[in-house]
Amino acid sequence: MESIWFIIVITLSFYATIKALFNLLQTSKKLPPGPVSIPIITSFQWLRKSFADIEPTLRNLKTKYGPIITLSIGHRKSIFITTSNLAHQALIQNGAIFADRPPAPATSKIISSNQHNISGAAYGPLWRLLRRNLTLQILHPSKIKTFSPARKWVLDIIKESIKKESKSGQNPVLVVDHFQFGMFCLLVFMCFGEKLDEKKVREVESVQRSLLLGFSRFQILNFFPKLTKIFFKKRWEGDLADGLICFCLVFLCYCVMVVIHRNRTKITEPTRLGFKTEPRMNGDGDGARF
C-alpha cells in the first residue's frame, strides 16, 4: 500500500514539474490579478470546497485584487467578474466577444451529452436553434395560456398535499417540500408532455436527485481528468456510469411509455401540451422549423 502511494506522489510531482516548465516556456498572457497558484496543491485546496463557497471566497478576494479576479481551479484558469457594471459591459455591450462558453468539466460533459443542451452548448448553430426553440415556444408570452391547465394541476397538487399533511397534526408542515415536489411535477410535465401520477414522478425525482447529489463525489474527477481516469478508474467506469445509465433508462422508459399511451388513446387538452415542438436544422445549419 505504501509503495502505491509513493508511486502516486512521485507521478504527481513529476507531472507538476513538467507542467510548470511548460507554462514558463509558453508566452505568458496578461490576466487579471489573483492569488498565487501552486500546481496540484491549489487544485487539492479547491477539492475541500463546494460551489457554495465560491461566492464568499470571491467577496474576500475582491477587496484585495479588485473587481476582476483570476483563480486557478483544476487544470485551467477561470476569470470572475464581481460587479454588475462590468458584467453589463461584458455580456451586453460586448456580448459578441463573450458569447461563447468554455469547455465543460469532464463530468459535466457526460450529463450534458457533450454540451448539447441550452445551458452548455457552445455559441453557434446548435445553440441558436435551441434558443429559438425555447424563446418561440416554451417561454414565449403567447404560450402562457397554453400552460394554464398544467399550472392549475400543479397548484391543486400542492394544496391537496399540504391539506393532507396538516390534517394529520403529527408534525409541522414543511411547505418547502410540497412546493419542490409541485415544481418537479411541472418540469416532468414540460419534459414528457403528460401528467404522470405521484408514484412515477417520485421515481424520476429520486433518480435525478441521486445523480445530482452524487456529483459532489465526482468533483475530484474534474481536476486533471487524464490522471483521475487512471487513479480513480472505479469512479469513472463504475459509480458515475451506473448513475448516468440509471437516469437515462428511467428517462427512456417514460418516453416510450408516453408514446405508447398517446398511440392507444387520443389524448387532448389539458393532459397534453397545447403545442408541438419539432426543432429541425435547416439546410444552412442555422434555424428551426416548428
Both 85 and 27 in a single domain?
Answer: yes
Residue 270 in any domain: the answer is: no
Looking at per-residue pLDDT, the higher value among 258 and 165 belongs to 165
Sequence-separated contacts (24+) of 74-78 with Cβ below 8 Å: 74/43, 74/46, 74/105, 74/222, 74/223, 74/224, 75/43, 75/223, 75/224, 75/225, 76/102, 77/31, 77/37
DSSP string, 72-101: EETTEEEEEE-SHHHHHIIIIITTTTS-S-
What is the per-residue pLDDT across 11-27, written as a single tens digit (0 to 9) for each? 766 666 666 556 555 54
User: Per the domain annotation, does 61 fall within a domain?
Assistant: yes
Rounded Cα gap, residues 32 and 61, in angstroms: 12
- Which of 207, 218, 164 has the alpha carbon at shortest distance from 184? 207
Q: Is residue 131 part of a domain?
A: no
Whether pTM exceeds 0.75:
no
Q: Grade residue 88 by pLDDT with cuts at 50, 70 and 90.
A: very high
**For residue 49, how far is the Cα from the chain centroid?**
18
The span from the CA of 73 to the CA of 159, in Å, is 44
- On the question of pLDDT at 285 being above 60, the answer is no
- Domain assignment of residue 66, given as a range: 2-99
Q: Is the pLDDT of residue 155 over 80?
A: yes
Q: 89 and 141, same structural domain? A: no
For residues 193-212, average pLDDT: 78
Name the region of 31 (left: φ>0; alpha: ψ -120 to 50; beta: rest). beta
Residue 110 lies in a domain: no
The residue written with cell numbers 484585495 in the block is 64
Instruction: Give the total number of structural domains in the chain.
Output: 2
Same domain flag for 198 and 143: yes
CA dihedral 201, 275, 136, 113 (to 10 degrees): 40
Residue 34 has pLDDT above 70, yes or no: yes
Mean pLDDT of the chain: 71
Same domain, 95 and 141: no
Is the domain of 246 the same as that of 143? yes
- In this prediction, residue 281 carries a pLDDT of 44
> Does the pLDDT of residue 148 top 60, yes or no?
yes
Question: Which of 164, 167, 189, 192 is closest to 177 using CA atoms?
Answer: 164
pLDDT value of position 40: 55
pLDDT at 20 (0 to 100):
58
pLDDT digits (tens, 9 = 90+) for 237-280: 555 555 565 556 555 555 555 555 556 555 444 444 443 444 44
Please tell me which residue, 289 or 220, carries the higher pLDDT value. 220
User: Residue 55 is inside which H or E element, if any?
Assistant: helix 54-65
Q: Examine residue 183 and state whether it is found in any structural domain, yes or no.
A: yes
Across-strand partners of 68?
81
